[in-house]
Amino acid sequence: MTAALAHRTSPATDPAPSLAEIRRTAKAPLLGLARLLADSDEARRDRLLLAGPTVAAVARGLLDRALTVPGSTDEALPPSAGSFAVSVPDKALLRRMARAATWNPPWRWPSAMLAPRTVAVSHNSLLNVAVKERPGAKGFIHAESVIAEARAAAGTRSKDRRLHDDALALCEAMMAATPLGDAQREQVVATLLPVAETALEAAASDLASLPRHLPHARSLWSATGGKYAARAVGLAAMRAGREVVRFDHVGTGALVADRLGLDLTERAVSTEVVVATQGLAAAAEENPSDLALPLGRLNASGGDPEFRFPLSVRPRASRPRVVYATTLLRGLRQYHDGLLTDAVYLNWQVEVATALAKLPIDLIVKPHPATVYPGGINPLEAVAPVAKGPFEALMAEADLYVFDYGQTTTFWKGLATAQPVVYLDLGMTDFLPGVRDALAERAAIVPVAYDDLSGVPVLSDNDLRAAIDSAPTAGGGNHFRRLLGGEPA
């Protein structure tokens, strides 16, 4: 048992932080970043927009650790936690040429390589749709290649004292609205400061060197702005007066009630953000954040082809094949909407898998592919078969899905199928009211309670079994398939 779980499950005199407190605390760093952005000139604003989301992720992890394991904030972090190392993909030039050949008719290949109207620095399924729909030659170059070239030409830069001051202001702003005491808050700030300083130094250097190495195109496209390399190249292009278009991934940012994550990582670093459908665009305009920054306009595509997979409508099997798809163990970093501490969440996964394995079903566990398990050993393998391949490979044979986190690609894909879905609601995702209503019709939702003293989630085997038995079948053309894939009912 890890220190975090031992603390949460051992006898204690003080109750564990409530779910509401954990979620409120997780939001504090981005709220602090937003306040600092409102009081910044353009140069500092761009540095904060580039480095801030990564610093906020580490800050949330430190806050989570401070709440669950007292004294843990005394442990120093390597400054490299705030660095932005980039790795140029293998055979980058060949990939660039292949992408240009795929995206353009043969007579446009020279223009696509030498003088394209549009250059993409990353791509996803929604961007690939726009390639076919929007005019002009489309070129491609990896954002990592652009940054690597700019860094090689810039060399080593001298440190700017103002960046230390900005880093300190950022750390203090991120901790301002937290429930920590003064001494604990000061310790978290001191632990976070080297990370923030390293991140802002990298952001300042990249923004200074990138303009001379930007692709020659009027418009720059990328997939999500959540990735540092694409965000950096896009911000530099916006500084140069160019159009920067981001293409949304899955649409989660438009479907949750808190808009700050979408606005900071996508709209504030773009001139245009394309979401999958008009329904998503309308949802994204609901409950806007009060971020005091110019935001890129929202446009809609005709649907994300990732959600137009073949439907398999089958009668309920007497012994259904159930896929339990978990989300990421995130290490030190934490999400804006909050997630259970790794130790608590891994213990929860084992409890859920163990309870499912007792039912008359054939269980398959599908972990998040980016999860690294302590010691390299996945304890779920001792409970049930664990799928190693992509989630999509399981979809043709799954009779029912079980999810416990509502902001993953697999969750939305499961909802877009015809198969029953069980959602173990840990209370971490605050959906828009209309989305919550649609989810209640589509899935069997099991509200999860928490132990008052330890703060760990408590699984009800009876509620889980009842949900498995009663989860509705969606059939074809359900709400989420229309919302994400754009397909008519």
Least confident piece of the model among 66-70, 93-97, 158-162, 362-366:
66-70
Taking the CB of residue 461, how many other CB atoms lie within 10 A of it?
14
Predicted local distance difference test score (pLDDT) of residue 1:
39
DSSP label of 273: E
Bigger pLDDT: 321 vs 17: 321
pLDDT in tens, 470-487: 998 876 558 899 999 987
Least confident piece of the model among 153-162, 327-336, 364-373, 394-403:
327-336
Burial (CB < 10 A; 0-12, 13-18, 19+), residue 466, is middle
**CA–CA separation, 365 and 21 (whole Å):** 30
pLDDT in tens, 441-462: 999 999 999 988 877 899 999 9
Alpha helices in 240-365 (DSSP H): 252-255, 260-265, 278-284, 342-357
**CA–CA separation, 103 and 85 (whole Å):** 29
Element (H, E) at 243: strand 243-247
pLDDT in tens, 386-440: 998 899 999 988 999 999 999 889 999 999 999 999 999 998 888 999 999 999 9
For residue 156, is pLDDT > 80?
no
Q: Indicate if the alpha-carbon torsion angle 251, 252, 257, 259 is positive or negative.
A: negative
Count CA atoms closer than 13 A to 380's CA, side-chain side. Answer: 27
Three-state DSSP state, 385: coil
Taking the CA atoms of residue 236, residue 238, residue 242 and residue 245 in that order, the dihedral angle to the nearest 10 degrees is 100
For residue 206, is pLDDT > 50?
yes
Q: Do the Cβ atoms of 439 and 445 come closer than 8 Å?
A: yes
For residue 103, is pLDDT > 60?
yes
Domains of the chain (ranges; CATH) run 3-83+155-210 (no CATH), 93-141+214-302 (no CATH), 321-485 (3.40.50)
Structure tokens at 476: 């074809």
Three-state DSSP state, 458: strand
Taking the CB of residue 199, how many other CB atoms lie within 10 A of it?
28
Question: Cβ neighbours of residue 14 under 8 Å, at least 6 residues apart?
Answer: none
For residue 334, is pLDDT > 80?
no
